[in-house]
A = this chain, B = another copy of it.
Amino acid sequence: MPEPIRTRDDAVAADAADPLGYVRARFHLPEHGVYLDGNSLGALPVAVSAALEDTVDRQWGRDLITSWNANGWWTLPARVGDRIGALVGAAAGQIMCGDSTTIQLFQAVVALARLNPQRRVIVTDGDNFPTDQYIAGSAARLLGMQLVRVHPAELAQVLDANVALVSFSAVDYRTGTLWDAAAVTAQVHAAGALMLWDLAHAAGALPFELDSIGADAAVGCSYKYLNGGPGAPAWIYLAGRHHPLIDLPLTGWQGHVAPFDLAPGYAPAPGIERARIGTPPVLSMRALDAALDVFDGVAMSDVRAKSLALTELVIRYADAALPAVEVVTPREPHRRGSQVALRMPFAYEVTQALIARGVIGDFRAPDLLRLGFAPLYLTYQQVWDAMDTLHDVLAKEEWRNPAYAQRAAVT
């Protein structure tokens, strides 16, 4: 482990020694301020604009319908899926890109439930992201199953012979807690159940090993640490060993074994191609494809090391200099994702005061300031300065400004 960063000079020195320092130039970043919301919407990679311009002007405008073959639109979802697979430990041919995380969750929950049809319980985390819980509930209702909510640490209490599948997020979206995915997956398998991981807050932020931990299915979004742009298409991982029996509910024509036969009855394509649904959003997906270039030559171990150093900086700073703030995120590195959640009074107003000072984080009800750390484009110095700004906002009680109490449509 490197020395912890205790001063601004330490931060400057860490930047000078940063093996990922060169990657920052692969992004278009705002001139001013510190962006600590890359866990909500990743910054804009430089390569996106040219890729989109080419997709629109040449591929759509000139080549029109022929682009499905001539410019590889038909194969794009699987190609992008494989690129994401390389970042989350999935061998090629097991990830399909498309649709939203909500849709992919529905696909994965129903598919795993149908692989384990004698069992009638779906387990999720009561602190899981709302969509994960809502979709598990909707799928349970449609399948005549029961939904049980449990904190991942207490999984053993509910994991009996009636559990078909367990659906957890690898990183808790509020607290930033990173679960031991290998241990949880093994625990689930030992009970005869199947394991679905939501990697929304893990993919691109830390190494993950879907294949080697034996995950049965996974989903993720692409607009956080994968920097694919607002509403970038999501993805689904279905372990290759299950492919022949995977029975998905959203049976679009593109997942058919012979889509251009236009047959009236559905028969799934072999392999991960059956996870295609309708026509993919080519423009958004081409943006994501280009965005993934920022990972070229980047070792996820370097990403993880910098992420931990940044979050450790924040936690140490808060412990040392922000007495009114409680660090909610685990202090143990192996239990921490790439974010820090700070509990404090008037967290909403503090978040707004920080934004007014150019430090962009977000608020999570009821009392959390959530700061995300994207190692590819943040500097140690920026993060140090952001903490100095937070110190200032609290010391000067800037959050008392009534303007900061007004709620926006999207918080």
* Chain A interfacial positions (CB closer than 8 Å to B): 28, 30, 35, 37, 40-41, 43-44, 48-49, 52-53, 56-57, 59-62, 64-69, 73-75, 99-103, 106, 126, 129-131, 133-135, 137-138, 142-143, 149, 221, 223, 229-234, 249-253, 256, 259-266, 277-285, 287, 355, 360, 362, 364-365, 408-411
> A130 contacts which of B35, B253, B411 (Cβ < 8 Å)?
B253
Known: A66-B355, A106-B250. 7 other contacts (CB 8 A): A65-B360, A130-B262, A134-B251, A135-B251, A135-B252, A231-B284, A260-B365
> A30 contacts which of B62, B126, B263, B279 (Cβ < 8 Å)?
B62
> A252 contacts which of B35, B102, B137 (Cβ < 8 Å)?
B102
Complex: chain B residue closest to A361, CB-CB: B65
> A277 contacts which of B43, B102, B253, B262 (Cβ < 8 Å)?
B102
A263: which B residues are within 8 A, CB to CB? Answer: 130
Question: Are the CB atoms of B262 and A56 closer together than 8 Å?
Answer: no
A262: which B residues are within 8 A, CB to CB? Answer: 129-130, 364-365
Question: Are the CB atoms of B284 and A281 closer together than 8 Å?
Answer: yes
Question: Are the CB atoms of A230 and B73 closer together than 8 Å?
Answer: yes
Within the oligomer, what is the number of copies of this chain?
Answer: 2
A249: which B residues are within 8 A, CB to CB? Answer: 106, 138, 142
A266: which B residues are within 8 A, CB to CB? Answer: 130, 133-134, 137-138
Q: How far is the CA of A318 from the CA of B211 in the complex (A)?
A: 58
Q: How far is the CA of A260 from the CA of B348 in the complex (A)?
A: 12
> A282 contacts which of B37, B56, B229, B355 (Cβ < 8 Å)?
B229
Question: Are the CB atoms of A65 and B41 closer together than 8 Å?
Answer: yes
A52: which B residues are within 8 A, CB to CB? Answer: 52, 56, 283
A62: which B residues are within 8 A, CB to CB? Answer: 30
Q: How far is the CA of A250 from the CA of B284 in the complex (A)?
A: 21
Return the 3 tightest CB-CB contacts between A and B, nearest first.
Answer: A100-B278, A102-B278, A102-B252
Question: Are the CB atoms of A44 and B61 closer together than 8 Å?
Answer: yes
A65: which B residues are within 8 A, CB to CB? Answer: 37, 40-41, 360, 362
Question: Are the CB atoms of A221 and B279 closer together than 8 Å?
Answer: yes
Question: Are the CB atoms of B230 and A67 closer together than 8 Å?
Answer: yes
Pick the most buried of A62, A69, A137, A252: most chain B CB atoms within 10 A of its CB: A252
Given contacts A56-B229, A135-B250, A250-B138, contact A278 B103 (CB under 8 A): yes
> A131 contacts which of B41, B233, B253 (Cβ < 8 Å)?
B253
A265: which B residues are within 8 A, CB to CB? Answer: 133-134, 137
Q: How far is the CA of A129 from the CA of B134 in the complex (A)?
A: 30
A264: which B residues are within 8 A, CB to CB? Answer: 126, 130, 133, 149
